[in-house]
Amino acid sequence: MEKRKPERQCTGCGKKGGKENFIRIVKTSDGMISLDISGKASGRGAYVCCDVACIDKMCKGRRLDRSFRTHVDEAIYRSILEEFNKLEK
Ligand SMILES: [Zn+2]
């Protein structure tokens, strides 16, 4: 039987694929939400393409509210976008 890799879905555009194609965003048990560069932080994860357009879509559509089933503060979306922009440089 073929072993299937778990599929992740981009919170921005909805594209699916292996986790290596995405950046993870984590909500830790103490409620902190941030980019998880290592991909190994414990907590609930959401995934987004390595693409500022997807991050932007995710922020504008407040998609993390649904992923994490909580109200995610505007400031958190902004800091995720900022962190991502830092990575790009
Ligand atoms: Zn995407």
User: Domain of 62?
Assistant: 8-88
Domain count along the chain: 1
Q: What is the CA(71)–ligand 1 centre distance, in A?
A: 22
Q: What is the CA(1)–ligand 1 centre distance, in A?
A: 30
In a domain, 3, yes or no: no
Averaged pLDDT for residues 72-80: 97
In a domain, 60, yes or no: yes
In a domain, 52, yes or no: yes
In a domain, 61, yes or no: yes
Q: How far apart are CA 56 and CA 6, in angstroms?
A: 25
pLDDT for 13-63, tens place per residue?
Answer: 999 999 888 999 999 999 999 999 888 999 999 999 999 999 999 999 999
Instruction: Give the domain CATH number at 39.
Output: 3.30.1230.10
